[in-house]
Amino acid sequence: MKLKFNEVGFIFDLDGVIVDTAVLHYKAWRRLANSLGFDFSEVRNEELKGVGRMDSLDKILSWGGITMTQEQKLQAAERKNEWYGELITHLGPKDALPGAINFLEKCADKGIAIALGSASKNAMPVLNSLEITDYFDIIVDGHSTTKNKPDPEVFLKGASGLNLVPSLCAVFEDAAVGIEAACLAGMTAIGIGKKENLPKANQVYCCLAEANMDTILDLIALNHM
């Protein structure tokens, strides 16, 4: 089966695929941890990749041996988000990962339907800072989902918003839980990062600058058969 580009959809995670805000999240979470009297390393911060805000907070509190009520947790998460929000205001197009904006431009030129599928509740301000909001036909973020990856909800909503069946969509993800979510959704999983970290991906590229659209189209066709 030979597919055309205008028959498929690409669904992009945000952090680690289009822009790397992991260091900004780390700075904000670390500031929160420090305010509670403990610290954690950038290496340990890797455990938070692809994890939602409240689940991340639970992990961090467990590292510090801190117990909070639900109300206190909500207040702490809001403080972290305010600090993170201050940091992302300094982002600009120059902060996009290699080839990311060019790849979105090529998608638009070829008529590929484009969705964002991110757990982040800060996706819109990040997209606006990068000046790339208009590339996306639909944006599914932490405000419109109730389940965290590896649950496929975010990607299934993206496909639905693009009016496409899941098998006609490719997901671009940098986290193992995101790749798992794409597979559970019945979509083609394109890993962005290191192959050894994303063993379940159908194809892995170091960044979007290296991604081959024709190869991805062929993979979607195989998945759709």
Q: Is 13 a catalytic residue?
A: yes
Q: Give the Cα-Cα-Cα angle 10, 220, 139 (nearest 5 degrees).
A: 15
3-class secondary-structure state, position 188: strand
* DSSP 8-state secondary structure symbol assigned to residue 20: -
Q: Which residue has the tokens 């080839």?
A: 99
Pairing state of beta strands 188-192 and 169-173? parallel
Pairing state of beta strands 9-12 and 169-173? parallel
Q: Is 134 a catalytic residue?
A: no
In the set 13, 55, 95, 134, the catalytic residue is 13
Please answer whether residues 184 and 152 qualify as being in contact, where contact means their C-beta atoms are separated by less than 8 angstroms: yes
Three-state SS for 41-102 is CHHHHHHHCCCCHHHHHHHHHHHHCCCCCHHHHHHHHHHHHHHHHHHHCCCCHHHECCCHHH
Mind telling me the catalytic residues?
13, 15
